[in-house]
Structure formats: structure tokens, C-alpha cells
Amino acid sequence: MDFFYIGVMSGSSLDGIDIALLKQDDRSRLVATHYIPMPEDLHAELLGL
């Protein structure tokens, strides 16, 4: 049976969000990655928390 996992994170700089898709069957594989820049207004709001 195949399992898929999605990982999402942002570092402490809050410059963007990193996303990874992994597939696990008899071994683990990185299927895809994507980076989304953080919009400036959201970046400022999060830094203000």
C-alpha cells in the first residue's frame, strides 16, 4: 500500500512557506516541493504577534 505525506513549514524569518510531498511504499521518496513567498502584509502581521 502506498502512503502520501504533505509537509508544510515556515522558518523563523517568515519569508515564505515550504511544501513537500513524500511517497512511502517499500521506500520513501520525495515527489515534489514548492515554495510560496509570504505576502508582505501577512509577513508584517505575523512578525507583530
pTM for the model stands at: 0.78
At 4 the pLDDT is 98
Alpha-carbon distance of 25 to 31, in angstroms, equals 12
| Residue 25, φ and ψ in degrees, nearest 5 | -130, -110
Mean pLDDT, each 10-residue run in order, the chain (49 residues): 97 95 97 97 93
At 48 the pLDDT is 92
At 34 the pLDDT is 99
At 27 the pLDDT is 96
Q: Minimal CA–CA distance to 17: which of 39, 32, 49? A: 39
At 43 the pLDDT is 94
Domain boundaries, the chain: 3-47
At 42 the pLDDT is 94
